[in-house]
Amino acid sequence: MKKLVLLFGASYGLLSVIFGAFGAHALKKVLPETALQSFETGVRYQMYHGILLLLIGFFFAFETKLENYMAWSFIVGTILFSFSIYLLALNNQWGYQLRFLGPITPLGGLFLIIGWLLLLVLVFRRF
């Protein structure tokens, strides 16, 4: 699990730099300001949680269910939150109506909140 957490953390970091550059250069010319701001929010949260995954990957052994649940909450939450925002921001540009993604973003946010809550519990128990 430790290796998986570190791989996701590094991948999220890499992709957030790529997506951030793509948004700042290519999408800036074609997306409305509100869609671009949403896209940038997805990039920012992806980077935050990529860094967090790297940190917890180095500091936790993932020997307990709670540690594993925390890691999966961050992994799944980031995918649901950030990637649904990317698709929603590009929705009109592609000419598709991906309205079903609307409820996915807050579900991803809920997973992120659960991950942070579990991290808080783990830190409280450890120190």
The answer to whether residue 92 scores a pLDDT higher than 80 is no
| Residues in contact with 108: Cβ distance below 8 Å, sequence separation at least 6, in sequence order | 76, 77, 78, 79, 80, 81, 82, 84
pLDDT at position 101 is 83
CA distance 13 to 95: 29
The answer to whether residue 33 scores a pLDDT higher than 80 is yes
Residue with tokens 């671009």: 36
pLDDT at position 29 is 87
Report the domain count for the chain. 1
- SS3 letters across 65-94: HHHHHHHHHHHHHHHHHHHHHHHHHHHHHH
User: How much of the chain, in percent, has pLDDT values that exceed 70?
Assistant: 98
Q: Longest Cα pair distance anywhere in the chain, in angstroms?
A: 52
Query: Domain limits at 118?
Result: 2-126
